């Protein structure tokens, strides 16, 4: 009987590994889609309409998959708390997936535009705003986000 139990445990290990891998990769998509939405906002600010469209489409698609994964319980609490930005987690409530994505988009925009327009005491020139947004776009490697999915 002990041998049967040991065999059963060893047969379950690959399934547990696959479940953990699925949870981790689904949680990673939470970070990827939030970054894509941030980059969408930056691309709009600096006038890169093709990049804005590409990044939005990638973020929207990945965001829908991520929300479906959360709703179906595919992602462990540990992976959610360690891999997914709080800007996503704090905005996961709503009647529809699109509503939730809209809330998260606003969070991404607020997060990424911090400092771009200036401060409460000073509004930066358009040229300075664009320079800051361009630097953020470059620093966040926005041109690379979603590229492997398109190839």
State if pTM tops 0.85.
Answer: no
End-to-end alpha carbon distance in the chain: 51
Q: Where are the domains of the chain?
A: 2-150
pLDDT in tens, 29-57: 999 999 999 999 999 999 999 999 999 99
Write the CB contacts of 80 (distance below 8 Å, at least 6 apart in sequence). 27, 30, 70, 89
Place of tokens 């600096």: 46
pLDDT in tens, 65-112: 999 999 999 999 999 999 999 999 999 999 999 999 999 999 999 999
- Compute the chain's Rg from CA coordinates: 20
């Amino acid at each position: 009987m002990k041998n049967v139990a040991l065999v059963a445990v060893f047969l379950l290990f690959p399934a547990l590994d696959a479940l953990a891998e699925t949870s981790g990769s689904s949680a990673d998509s939470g970070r990827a889609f939030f970054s894509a939405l941030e980059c969408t906002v930056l691309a709009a600010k600096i006038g890169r309409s093709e990049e804005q469209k590409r990044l939005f489409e990638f973020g929207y698609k990945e965001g829908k998959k991520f929300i479906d994964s959360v709703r179906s319980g595919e992602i462990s609490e540990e992976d959610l708390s360690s891999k997914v930005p709080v800007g996503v987690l704090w905005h996961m409530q709503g009647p529809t997936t699109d509503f939730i994505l809209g809330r998260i988009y606003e969070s991404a925009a607020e997060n990424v535009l911090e400092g771009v327009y200036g401060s409460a005491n000073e509004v930066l020139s358009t040229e300075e705003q664009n320079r800051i947004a361009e630097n953020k776009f470059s620093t966040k490697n926005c041109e690379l986000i979603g590229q492997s999915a398109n190839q």
